[in-house]
Structure 1
Amino acid sequence: MTPSVTTAELLAHARATIALPAEAAKTLTALHTAATDFFTQDEAVKRTHGSDDFTYGFRPYGRQYSVSPDRPDMNESFTYWADNPATVPHHDVPTVAPFLQALRDYWAVAAGITENVLTDLAAHYGQQTQAPVAFRDYSYLEINWYHPSDRDLLQDRHEDGHLLTLAVSDGPGLEIATDGQMSPVPVRDSQLLVMPGSLLTAMTGDDIPPLFHQVRNHRLPRRLTVLFLANPPLDRPVPPFVSREGRAVDIAQLARTSGAMFGLPPAPSRPAGQTSG
Structure 2
Amino acid sequence: MNHIKACCASIARTGFGILQISEAMLEDYKKIVDGYSTISPATKASFSFANDTDGFFPFGAEYSSLEDQPDLCERFCYWPAHSSKRKAFEFTRSEFFAAVEAFEQRVSALAQELMDGVCAEFGATSLTALRAASYLQLCVYGASSGPGERQFAQDPHEDGHMLSFIKPTRDGLVLVRGSSLEPVRLLENEVAILAGSLLTELSDYAIPAAYHAVLTPRTPMTRSSLIYFVNPDPEQALTGFFRHRPIDLKSAINARHIGFGNQPLQLT
Change (3 A) 1:88 1:72: farther
Name whichever structure is richer in helix by fraction. 2
Asked if the contact 1:122–1:241 (Cα under 8 Å) also holds between the matched residues in 2, the reply is no
If asked which structure has higher relative contact order (CA below 8 Å, sep 6+), I would say: 2
1:178 aligns with 2:173: no
Alpha-carbon displacement from aligned partner over 1:142-192 (angstroms, at most 9, x marks no partner): 000112334221100011100100000001111112365221112432310
SS at match of 1:9: helix
Displacement of 1:126 in angstroms is 2.6
Q: Which amino acid aligns with 2:116?
A: T
TM-score (norm 2): 0.88
Q: Distance in 2 between matches of 1:54 and 1:152?
A: 31
Change (3 A) 1:106 1:243: same
Q: Which deviates more, 82-91 or 63-72? A: 82-91
The answer for unaligned runs of 5 or more in structure 1 is 271-277
1:149 aligns with 2:144: yes
- Identity value in percent: 23
Q: Which amino acid aligns with 2:237?
A: V
Alpha-carbon displacement from aligned partner over 1:188-230 (angstroms, at most 9, x marks no partner): 3231000010001111111111111111111343111000001
Partner of 2:116: 119
Change (3 A) 1:134 1:156: same
TM-score (norm 1): 0.85
Q: Which amino acid aligns with 2:10?
A: E
> Counterparts in 2 of 1:105-116, with a 5 A limit?
105-116=102-113
- Give me the CA root mean square deviation: 2.3
Q: Which amino acid aligns with 2:20?
A: A
The answer for unaligned runs of 5 or more in structure 2 is none
Q: Which deviates more, 260-269 or 80-89? A: 80-89
SS at match of 2:98: helix
Displacement of 1:89 in angstroms is 8.1
Change (3 A) 1:184 1:50: same
Displacement of 1:254 in angstroms is 0.5
SS at match of 1:77: strand
Partner of 1:97: 94
Partner of 1:51: 49
Q: Which amino acid aligns with 1:268?
A: Q
Alpha-carbon displacement from aligned partner over 1:212-256 (angstroms, at most 9, x marks no partner): 11111113431110000011112x253135142x64422222112
Partner of 1:133: 128
Q: Distance in 1 between matches of 2:22 and 2:50?
A: 38
Displacement of 1:263 in angstroms is 1.1
Partner of 2:75: 77
Q: Distance in 2 between matches of 1:241 and 1:21?
A: 33
The number of residue pairs the alignment matches comes to: 260
Displacement of 1:83 in angstroms is 6.4
Displacement of 1:124 in angstroms is 2.6
Q: Which amino acid aligns with 2:56?
A: F
Partner of 1:159: 158
Q: Distance in 2 between matches of 1:207 and 1:35?
A: 39
Partner of 2:229: 229
Q: Which amino acid aligns with 1:23?
A: A
Asked if the contact 1:161–1:258 (Cα under 8 Å) also holds between the matched residues in 2, the reply is yes
Partner of 1:273: none
Asked if the contact 1:48–1:89 (Cα under 8 Å) also holds between the matched residues in 2, the reply is no
